[in-house]
Amino acid sequence: MSSFADTTFTPPERIRNFCIIAHIDHGKSTLADRMLQLTGVLEERAYRAQYLDRMDIERERGITIKAQNVRLPWTVDGADHVLHMIDTPGHVDFTYEVSRSLAACEGAILLIDAAQGIEAQTLANLYLAMEHDLQIIPVLNKIDLPAAEPDKYANELAHLIGCEPEDVLRVSAKTGEGVDKVLDAVVNDVPAPEGDADSPARAMIFDSVYDTYRGVVTYIRVVDGKITPRQRIRMMSTGATHELLEVGIISPEPKPSEGLGVGEVGYLITGVKDVRQSKVGDTVTAEKKGAEEPLPGYREPKPMVYSGLYPVDGSDYPLLREALDKLQLNDAALTYEPETSGALGFGFRCGFLGLLHLEITRARLEREFNLNLISTAPNVVYEVELEDGTELVVTNPSDWPEGKIKEVSEPVAKCTVIAPSEFVGAIMELCQGRRGQLGGMDYLSEDRVELRYTLPLGEIVFDFFDQLKSRTRGYASMDYEESGTQASNLVKVDILLQGEPVDAFSAIVHRDGAYAYGTKMATKLRELIPRQQFEVPVQAAIGSRIIARETIRAIRKDVLAKCYGGDISRKRKLLEKQKEGKKKMKTIGRVEVPQEAFVAALSTDGDAKEDKPKGKK
């Protein structure tokens, strides 16, 4: 155990700041728990499985969304050290948060499952860590598994980061074998933080979390000077000033301290109630005699993917608004504004960092607030230039301009896929079908390939991931990163029911894919919408040009058909029931559409199967 009192300043030369980069399930939480135990921060008794992943959804979906950051004492050769473990979110949508967590560290443990090898997301985060000049400590986990192939993957790692295979540490986070060596390596290999203790305070916010009882808890890494309790601080991006109510460290529970000095990591509480007042990447300084220049790298969170969220039961609308208000307290990247849809009623147009962010938000709304939601097909942000020179930013198909369009730009992403080499053909076929351009291909080992594609982001947000999984039997992993925009021939496809456009189904697609989208939606709706008493054409159109058509044939649904004889009360009951059912119908023109038809038509489940290449299982 360290002889440094937990709560006083630590000299920078005794501090090591590191994070763990790992793929989902490669054992990051288990390793972190093991480290807490080994350093005595968490007693065996209190050992709680995956102490660091607190949110339910994280646990269920097996992903780490928000960081928890712990101080660990560790002694090497008689010298006491303080290690700060900074937890990084693992998923692509949170790349910016990952980059800020990395910026708070001098070193990173690259943790790889010895039975699986490196995956695309890990590779992307590794490159990010290398860009930040972090010292990389390569570690193979799960060496206790019979299926582990440490020699093979040690070679793979050595090749990737340019070290010798013998330098790759081998551990079992489960049994604890080798974990002490990892802590030693952190002390020996990771450089101590550098900073100017006499300069005005500058600390970087790398995470901020809303806590119901305490308001926003902000995690910081001090770069210069020091932060002490009872001082007033300024957020450099907005100039807003706050009184510091508490400064402290996490070990593993929050403990107030005398302050944080150069290189130290801890939290601060100011009483603000909304994470947007304490943004990731921002610089904290003193209100008086503060720093003049903020730390580099701050960026406003920018939504990349938009979708409409609607309550299935229209009367839940106020509840949805309240729920979004609450979620936003803890999520600076979530944006929303009210919108109305002829088909779906009142809802919100929401902006997300990416698809996973959308899914998590939706799952939380449904679970934590007991809401039943429909989400419209996600779309990205388009820049449209009209012939008269007007420029528009379109985040919603319904805002697509009617006028003559000169040019449309769409965002593109650099996408990395790692998969066993037998799937290269299937992956290429998928990416090419999605307007992808191959940037390069490398063999990581004999049988594993890394493919690099540039793809329109709009193609990725539309069930690309499901497709990739189904074509590679779940073996591929992928990551993407936005990478500018490109001009494209995009059009808006409307879906019409009896000549009336149904706004919820409008989509912006590439001209070459318009027919396929139109036919798919028209066929789906023909199957989902019950027959009416008259014939209903389902059409897909670009502007006024019809590109596909299906027909729902006419029928009268005779609920009394099963009633023999003249039992009038029974008849009435059935008619009442039919009336009740009709309440759940939306009327588009004269066509009655059950709510379930919208839900089913908007879900992409099942599409993956349809789209599968022939001859493959």
Does residue 143 have a known ligand-binding role? Answer: yes
- Tell me how crowded residue 556 is: count the other CB atoms within 10 A of its CB: 10
597: phi then psi, degrees, rounded to nearest 5: -65, -40
Smallest distance, ligand GTP to C-beta of residue 25, A: 4
Smallest distance, ligand GTP to C-beta of residue 20, A: 8
Burial 347-374 (b: 16+ CB within 10 A, else e): bbbbbbbbbbbbbbbbebbeeebebebb
Pairing label, strands 490-497, 500-501: antiparallel
Stretch of 20-28, 71-79, 408-416, 485-493 lying at the interface with ligand GTP (CB under 6 A)? 20-28
Among 2, 17, 30, 375, binds ligand GTP (CB under 6 A): 30
88 in contact with ligand GTP (CB under 6 A) = no
Stretch of 24-32, 326-334, 356-364, 496-504 lying at the interface with ligand GTP (CB under 6 A)? 24-32
Of the pair 30, 539, the CB lying nearest ligand GTP is at: 30
CA distance 179 to 169: 9
Count, residues near ligand GTP per rule CB under 6 A: 21
62 in contact with ligand GTP (CB under 6 A) = yes
Output the 3-class SS for 242-290. Answer: EECCEEEEECCCEEECCCECCCCEEEEECCCCCHHHCCCCCEEEECCCC
Smallest distance, ligand GTP to C-beta of residue 57, A: 11
375 burial class (0-12, 13-18, 19+ CB within 10 angstroms)?
A: buried
- Cα–Cα–Cα angle for 513, 514, 518, rounded to 5 degrees: 120
Letter for the amino acid at 497?
Answer: L
Site for ligand GTP in 141-170 (CB under 6 A): 141-142, 144-145
Of the pair 141, 218, the CB lying nearest ligand GTP is at: 141
Which is it for the CA torsion 527, 532, 536, 541, positive or negative?
negative
173 in contact with ligand GTP (CB under 6 A) = yes
Stretch of 25-33, 96-104, 234-242, 437-445 lying at the interface with ligand GTP (CB under 6 A)? 25-33
Of the pair 22, 491, the CB lying nearest ligand GTP is at: 22
90 in contact with ligand GTP (CB under 6 A) = yes
Widest distance between CA atoms in the chain: 96
CA distance 360 to 93: 11
64 in contact with ligand GTP (CB under 6 A) = yes
Smallest distance, ligand GTP to C-beta of residue 94, A: 12
Does residue 409 have a known ligand-binding role? Answer: no
Residue with tokens 């989509």: 507
CA distance 483 to 462: 18
Smallest distance, ligand GTP to C-beta of residue 589, A: 48
Among 172, 376, 396, 472, binds ligand GTP (CB under 6 A): 172
Task: Yes or no: say if 84 and 193 are a contact pair by the CB < 8 Å rule.
Answer: no
Of the pair 63, 260, the CB lying nearest ligand GTP is at: 63
Smallest distance, ligand GTP to C-beta of residue 291, A: 35
* Residues placed in the known binding site: 25-30, 141-144
Positions that interact with ligand GTP (CB under 6 A): 22, 24-30, 50, 53, 62-64, 90, 141-142, 144-145, 172-174
